[in-house]
C-alpha cells in the first residue's frame, strides 16, 4: 500500500525534482501540496512568489494545495503551533508521511523529523545527500525550467535575479555558492517541466532589495541584518 503523503512544496527547483522522483514510485501517493505563505504580502515565504502563481503550479500538476498562512516574521513558537494544527488535520485524513526537498542540512532535517514524529508522522527526503552539481544538471536535463526569484545579496548581486537556471547560470555562480543554493544563497520558481501539464505563464516585474533581521540564536543584543534581492513575477491573466 502506497504511503499517503503531504509534499512540502516551495515552488522551487529542489521541490520540483524531489516531487518528480516521488511521482515515479508506486510506493508513494502524493495527496496534497503544503506551502508556507506570508499572509501579510500573500506570497510564498522567503521566495516572495505571488500565491496566484503558486496556485497555477498546483493546478498544472493536478495536485490539491493547502497553504500554511504565517505572519510576516513569525517566531518559532508561532510557526510550530500553526504547523502542528495543520498536521493534525492531515492526520485525521489518513496521511502518514511528510516529504521535503532538503539535500544536506542536518539541523533542518533533525528539526523536521522530531517535530513530525511528535505529530505522528514520518519524514521523507528523496534527494538527501545527493551531489548538488549532479542534481541541478539532472533538473536541467529532465527539461525543467526555473527562474531565480531571490538571492542573498552578500553572495549574489541583483544581476542574478530573473535569470533562468541553465548551464550559463551554473558557470557564472561564484565558487562559494552551492549549485542548488542549498545554504539559502538563492531561490527559484519552476514554471515548466515533466510534472506540469502546461507551462506557467508570467511576466518579469521589478527587482526589489529588502533587509531582514536574522533570528537571534545566541541571546546577544545585536541582531544581524541580512539583505536579499527579489525579482517580482507577475501572473499572466489572459492565457
- Which class for 203: exposed (0-12), middle (13-18), buried (19 or more C-beta within 10 A)? exposed
Whether pTM > 0.85 for this model: the answer is yes
Q: How far apart are CA 10 and CA 189, in angstroms?
A: 8
- Compute the radius of gyration of the chain from its Cα atoms: 17
Handedness of CA 202, 206, 209, 212 (dihedral sign): negative
For residue 237, the model assigns a pLDDT of 74
pLDDT tens per residue across span 27-79: 999 999 999 999 999 999 989 999 999 999 999 999 999 999 999 888 999 99
Please state, as a whole number, how many other Cβ atoms lie within 10 Å of the Cβ of residue 183.
14
For residue 46, the model assigns a pLDDT of 86
The strand pair at 3-8 and 28-38 is best described as: parallel
Which residues have CB under 8 Å from 143's CB, separation 6+?
192, 193, 194
Q: Which of 71, 60, 4 has the alpha carbon at shortest distance from 36? A: 71
For residue 238, the model assigns a pLDDT of 62
Look at the chain and report how many structural domains it folds into. Answer: 1
Q: Which domain holds residue 111?
A: 1-239
Q: Grid coordinates 500565491 are at which residue? A: 51
Could you say which residues of the chain have pLDDT below 70?
Answer: 215-223, 238-239
Q: Which of 4, 176, 209, 170 has the alpha carbon at shortest distance from 93? A: 4
Q: Which of 11, 109, 138, 104 has the alpha carbon at shortest distance from 63? A: 11
Q: How far apart are CA 103 and CA 41, in angstroms?
A: 28
Q: What is the DSSP string of 83-151?
A: HHHHHHHHHHTT--EEE----S-HHHHHHHHHHHHHTT-EEE-TTTT--HHHHHHHHHHTT-EEEEEEE
Can you give the CATH number for the domain in which 149 is found?
3.40.50.620
Q: What is the DSSP string of 55-99?
A: HHHHHHHT--EEEEEE-SS--HHHHHHHHHHHHHHHHHTT--EEE
Amino acid at each position: 500500500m502506497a504511503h499517503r503523503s503531504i509534499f512540502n512544496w516551495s515552488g522551487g527547483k529542489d521541490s520540483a525534482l524531489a516531487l518528480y522522483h516521488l511521482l515515479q514510485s508506486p510506493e508513494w501517493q502524493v495527496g496534497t501540496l503544503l506551502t508556507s505563505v506570508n499572509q501579510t504580502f500573500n506570497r510564498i515565504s522567503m521566495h516572495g512568489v505571488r500565491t496566484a502563481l503558486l496556485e497555477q503550479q498546483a493546478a498544472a500538476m493536478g495536485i490539491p494545495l493547502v497553504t500554511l498562512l504565517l505572519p510576516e516574521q513569525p517566531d518559532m513558537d508561532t510557526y510550530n503551533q500553526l504547523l502542528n494544527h495543520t498536521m493534525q488535520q492531515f492526520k485525521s485524513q489518513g496521511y502518514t508521511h511528510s516529504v521535503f526537498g532538503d539535500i544536506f542540512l542536518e539541523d533542518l532535517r533533525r528539526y523536521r523529523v522530531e517535530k513530525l514524529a511528535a505529530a505522528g508522522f514520518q519524514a521523507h527526503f528523496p534527494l538527501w545527500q545527493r551531489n548538488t552539481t549532479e542534481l541541478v544538471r539532472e533538473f536541467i536535463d529532465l527539461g525543467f525550467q526555473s527562474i531565480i526569484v531571490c538571492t542573498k545579496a552578500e553572495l549574489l548581486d541583483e544581476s542574478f535575479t530573473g535569470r533562468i537556471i541553465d548551464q550559463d547560470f551554473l558557470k557564472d555562480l561564484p565558487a562559494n555558492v552551492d549549485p542548488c543554493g542549498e545554504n539559502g544563497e538563492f531561490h527559484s520558481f519552476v514554471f515548466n517541466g515533466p510534472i506540469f501539464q502546461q507551462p506557467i505563464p508570467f511576466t518579469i516585474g521589478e527587482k526589489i532589495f529588502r533587509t531582514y533581521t536574522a533570528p537571534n540564536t545566541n541571546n546577544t543584543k545585536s541582531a544581524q541584518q541580512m539583505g536579499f534581492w527579489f525579482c517580482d513575477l507577475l501572473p499572466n491573466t489572459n492565457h
